[in-house]
């Protein structure tokens, strides 16, 4: 069962969700090895990976795309989620990530956030990955911003 605050409308995120479903097959989750970033090159600047750390449950940013770094205003690769700037965004995202890990379900939403004193309309997709097929070990996430022009080869 998916965690859905709001349905997605951005074609690049819907395409990534279909890709994840295909790679998952009959399993509960695909593994990181199943995912080839070149298969969604149209979205790479907006994609990130979080490592799931246990006891206590925390998240480390393994990768953060260049468009996201620009929006956040800081390089966050290698940092724990609770070390990120923008406390209100950080706390909301961490809470959702915990739910995704606990429920083992993709998460979709859209909304407005204020970054650099500007409102930014976005959609977000977070997809669980697992190395053993049971426990979520990584989260693949992708944002799409309303003011963003699609990259070449991206669906519209």
Q: So where are the chain's domains?
A: 3-145
What fold characterizes domain 3-145?
Beta-Lactamase (3.30.450)
pLDDT, tens digit (0-9, with 9 covering 90-100), for 121-148? 788 999 999 999 899 999 999 989 876 6
Confidence of residue 115 (pLDDT cuts 50, 70, 90): low
The token pair at 90 is 């950080």
All residues at 6 or more sequence positions from 15 whose CB lies less than 8 Å from its CB, including other chains: 40, 42, 43, 155
H-run or E-run covering 101: helix 87-103
pTM to 2 decimal places: 0.85
Of 35-44, 52-61, 105-114, the one with minimum mean pLDDT is 105-114
Q: What share of the chain is helix, strand, coil (3-state, %, to 5)?
A: 35, 30, 35
Higher pLDDT, 72 or 135: 135
């Amino acid at each position: 069962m998916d965690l859905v605050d709001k349905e997605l409308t951005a074609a690049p995120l819907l395409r990534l969700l279909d890709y994840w479903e295909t790679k998952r097959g009959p399993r509960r989750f695909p593994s990181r090895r199943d995912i080839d970033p070149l298969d969604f090159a149209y979205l790479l600047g907006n994609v990130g990976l979080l490592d799931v750390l246990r006891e206590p449950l925390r998240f480390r940013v393994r990768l953060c795309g260049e468009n996201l770094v620009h929006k956040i205003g800081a390089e966050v690769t290698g940092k724990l989620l609770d070390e990120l700037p923008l406390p209100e965004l950080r706390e909301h995202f961490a809470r959702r990530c915990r739910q995704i890990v606990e429920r083992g379900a993709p998460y979709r939403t859209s909304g407005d956030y204020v970054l650099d004193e500007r409102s930014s309309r976005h959609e977000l997709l977070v997809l669980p990955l697992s190395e053993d097929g049971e426990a979520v070990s990584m989260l693949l996430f992708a944002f799409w911003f309303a003011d963003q022009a699609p990259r070449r080869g991206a669906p519209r």
